[in-house]
Amino acid sequence: MNKYFSLRIEKLNEKSFNLSGLYVLYYMRLSLREDFNYALEFSIKLSNDYKKPLVVYCPITDYYKFSNIRYYKFMIEGILNAKKLIEERGIKFIIEKTNIPPYKKILEKSKDIFCLILEKGYLKYQRKINKILGENLNTTVFEVDNDVVVPLKIVSHKQEPYARTIRPKINNKLDEFIKPITKFEPLIKSNKYDFQFSELNYKKAEDYLNILNIDKSVKPSNYFFGGENEAEKKLKVFINEKLHRYKELRSNPVFDYQSNLSPYLHFGNISPVKICLEILKNYSYEDENVKSFFNELIIWRELARNFSYYNARYNEYEGIPIWAKKTLEEHKNDKRDYIYSIEDLENAKTHDKYWNAAQLEMLKTGKMHNYMRMYWCKKIIEWTDDPKKAFDIACYLNDKYELDGRDPNGYAGISWCFGSFDRPFSERKIFGKVRYMSEEGLKRKFDIDKYVEKVNKL
């Protein structure tokens, strides 16, 4: 294991290994993949070094507040893909339905666990679970920063206000962290052992969905299917057919020149390091399209992680910069030409056909085009009588319908629309000094009626 691999790993407590424990447990939650999974490889190494079998544990529950069939189907497809590939390496992979929070289930198994490996989370509830496990499990608990290029703590120890402030800090480290992963051969083939869990062994995602009591109203996407094999297909198409025009066309919603990798990155079906290495097999780092893509994949994505980690109010109106809140509050009582209820917005029933198309794209496919996400959220500010309410509506709709929702990128993206990471502009109604976006701007930049046609055909 090289130094750059070890720099991803932190101990969450000072406890020694539970020597009477029966197995090493990797609680897979955020990185649903076999390939390029540092937490998995580290778990295999521990299993080999200490001669304890490895269990990859992937519990599923149905009481999480956002649970709906759209993203559960995608998530379970990812879990099944990972299970197959991990079992092929001779490692036990357990899917279990739990009626209590998974961390409690792990605590119940405390005496059997030799040591525990977790993935680093950036959101409040993810961090809380890791903290509880670190404090309460009677053995060593490790946390692996598994889903970023440069580990969060190496980049910065404070909230970075702009992309330009975090960029040099990340870029200085890129060469060190864009490296192939060390893979270990598991010495104990644990896949045939019985570890006394209530394992589920259905082969199809639908069979799991049938036993879960979740919101079935948000239909699964017919455009995105979960799992690392699907992620690799999307990556290949991107490299072979789109990357050469990414800089020029990525922002144009009429075309499809984005990578479409965000749902896969969100569920950890693919590692950003692997994406970089695959791209660099075909392209030079100096290529302008690569620079533009890495700016999104690495700088903006890792800025979003820094934001969620160091700003305790990342998913609230209160978390936006002071200047932005002041100016929005000063314009809170400005007259709005339109005010829509959450139901009007949810059902794409506004006067603006471009906005409705964006909302419909999200409802139908589970992924709205990046440029339209900015327009969509700016208009929610314009058409809601209170900016705080607008922030909550944007988070609610984004988290409910986007396959990549419930992610630091979503909260950072919404916060950007309210002034975060941005500068003040000249003052205007409702928005004050926060950047405004208009229908005329859409028409000027793009053949935007073609976008409406495209969405109507979906």
Which residue ranges make up the site for ligand FAD (CB under 6 A)?
A: 250, 258-262, 265-266, 296-297, 300-301, 304, 370, 373-374, 377, 398, 402, 404-405, 407, 409-410, 412-414, 416-417
Output the CA–CA distances (angstroms, integers) from residue 257 to 149, 374, 456, in the order listed. Answer: 23, 17, 19
Nearer to ligand FAD, 56 or 239 (CB): 239
Shortest spacing between CB 101 and ligand FAD, in angstroms: 24
Closest alpha carbon to 5 in 154, 165, 226:
154
Shortest spacing between CB 279 and ligand FAD, in angstroms: 11
Nearer to ligand FAD, 70 or 301 (CB): 301
Nearer to ligand FAD, 319 or 413 (CB): 413
Shortest spacing between CB 58 and ligand FAD, in angstroms: 22
- Judge contact between 60 and 76, C-beta under 8 A: yes
Nearer to ligand FAD, 139 or 315 (CB): 315
Nearer to ligand FAD, 104 or 445 (CB): 445
Shortest spacing between CB 293 and ligand FAD, in angstroms: 6
Q: What is the 3-state secondary structure (H, E, C) of the chain?
A: CCHHHHCCEEECCCCCCCCCCCEEEEECCCCCCCCCCHHHHHHHHHHHHHCCCEEEEEEECCCCCCCEHHHHHHHHHHHHHHHHHHHHCCCEEEEEECCCCHHHHHHHCHHHEEEEEEECCCCHHHHHHHHHHHHHCCCCEEEECCCCCCCHHHHCCCCCCCHHHHHHHHHCCHHHHCCCCCCCCCCCCCCCCCCCCCECCCCCHHHHHHCCCCECCCCCCCCCCCCHHHHHHHHHHHHHHHHHHHHHHCCCCCCCCCCCCHHHHHCCCCCHHHHHHHHHHHCCCCCHHHHHHHHHHHHHHHHHHHHHHHCCCCCCHHHCCHHHHHHHHHCCCCCCCCCCCHHHHHCCCCCCHHHHHHHHHHHHHCCCCHHHHHHHHHHHHHCCCCHHHHHHHHHHHHHHHCCCCCCHHHHHHHHHHCCCCCCCCCCECCCECCCCCCHHHHHHHCCHHHHHHHHHHC
Nearer to ligand FAD, 115 or 230 (CB): 230
Shortest spacing between CB 390 and ligand FAD, in angstroms: 11
- Judge contact between 399 and 405, C-beta under 8 A: yes
Nearer to ligand FAD, 130 or 409 (CB): 409
Nearer to ligand FAD, 154 or 414 (CB): 414
Shortest spacing between CB 91 and ligand FAD, in angstroms: 28
Shortest spacing between CB 140 and ligand FAD, in angstroms: 32
Cα separation, 262 vs 407, in Å, equals 10
Which residue type, as a one-letter code, is found at position 421? F
Shortest spacing between CB 303 and ligand FAD, in angstroms: 7
Nearer to ligand FAD, 52 or 379 (CB): 379
Shortest spacing between CB 399 and ligand FAD, in angstroms: 7
Nearer to ligand FAD, 16 or 240 (CB): 240
Shortest spacing between CB 238 and ligand FAD, in angstroms: 7
Tokens representing residue 105 in the block: 């289930």
Output the CA–CA distances (angstroms, integers) from residue 232 to 58, 85, 247, 258, 273, in the order listed. Answer: 22, 14, 21, 15, 13
- Judge contact between 229 and 82, C-beta under 8 A: no
Nearer to ligand FAD, 159 or 259 (CB): 259
Shortest spacing between CB 398 and ligand FAD, in angstroms: 5
